[in-house]
């Protein structure tokens, strides 16, 4: 079988309110790195994008089936967040599928912050999950990776194996280290033209 046989079909939905229409589109791509991308489009313009990195390209039908499940959940989670947070109750979703109403993960909610490029999860031993950090990210923050365990010590130990919760900007407006108590996240964002407090935006999500 060729590699094209393992590429799952994308998903597309429409959200309509009056004369306004948004398109939700989720696709798989294997280059330059394997990922699932969900875009929110209106008037031909992408206004929101969520990207979930995958550990490796799909190489079997079983892996394809697993990725299709992830894709389906990601697609419908984005439909729910768009419908619930940005629109009134008269919004209708038009697609021949049942909408799953599972809540978004913290990683997905962090990904929804405007300008966020990547959200990487890691444990307090400095191990990334999934272990698919790009070479460019490692190169740019090489000093950080060499001292990752020391960096994590920013969040002090608490009884029961927990650490302090919080947010620390490693590179102001660009890279943040987040502690939830039992795990960490690195959040990489584009530098925004307008003044913003990325740390504050993350803190509001952690407080939800």
At 72 the pLDDT is: 86
User: What mean pLDDT do residues 169-193 have?
Assistant: 86
Q: What DSSP line would sit under 114-175, residue for residue?
A: TTEEEEEEE-TTS-EES----HHHHHHTHHHHHTHHHHHTTS-B-GGG-B--EEEEEETTTE
pTM over 0.95: no
Q: How confident is the model at residue 101 (pLDDT cuts 50, 70, 90)?
A: very low
Beta bridge partners of 175: 171, 188
- DSSP label of 87: S
Q: And the tokens for 197?
A: 């407090």
pLDDT digit string, tens, across residues 77-86: 888 777 765 4
pLDDT score, position 93? 42
Structure confidence at residue 156 (pLDDT): 92
Q: Where are the domains of the chain?
A: 3-94, 106-206
The better pLDDT of the pair 172, 165 is held by: 165
d(CA 184, CA 156): 13
Instruction: Give dist(CA 156, CA 175) in Å, integer.
Output: 20
Task: Enter the tokens of residue 58.
Answer: 């799909």
Cα torsion through 40, 44, 46, 50, rounded to 10? 40
37-81: pLDDT as tens digits: 898 888 888 877 888 888 788 888 888 888 888 888 888 888 877
The predicted structure's pLDDT at residue 90? 39
pLDDT tens, position by position, 186-207: 998 877 655 567 888 888 888 8
Class of domain 106-206: alpha beta
Q: What is the pLDDT of residues 117-167, one digit of tens each?
A: 888 888 888 888 755 677 788 888 888 888 998 999 999 998 877 899 999
């Amino acid at each position: 079988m060729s590699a094209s046989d393992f590429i799952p079909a994308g998903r597309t939905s429409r959200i309509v309110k009056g004369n306004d229409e948004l398109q939700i589109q989720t696709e798989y791509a294997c280059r330059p790195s394997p990922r699932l991308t969900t875009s929110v489009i209106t008037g031909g313009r992408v206004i929101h994008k969520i990207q979930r990195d995958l550990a490796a390209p799909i190489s079997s039908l079983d892996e394809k089936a697993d990725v299709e499940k992830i894709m389906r959940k990601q697609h419908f989670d984005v439909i729910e967040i768009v419908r619930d947070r940005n629109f009134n109750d008269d919004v209708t979703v038009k697609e021949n599928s049942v909408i799953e109403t599972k809540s978004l993960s913290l990683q997905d909610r962090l990904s929804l912050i405007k300008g966020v490029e990547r959200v990487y999860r890691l444990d307090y031993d400095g191990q990334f999950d999934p272990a698919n950090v790009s070479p460019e990210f490692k190169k740019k923050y090489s000093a950080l990776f060499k001292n990752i365990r020391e960096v994590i010590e920013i969040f002090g130990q608490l009884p029961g194996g927990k650490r302090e919760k919080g947010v620390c900007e490693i590179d102001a407006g660009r890279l943040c280290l987040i502690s939830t108590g039992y795990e960490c996240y690195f959040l990489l964002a584009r530098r925004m033209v307008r003044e913003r407090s990325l740390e504050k935006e993350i803190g509001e999500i952690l407080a939800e």
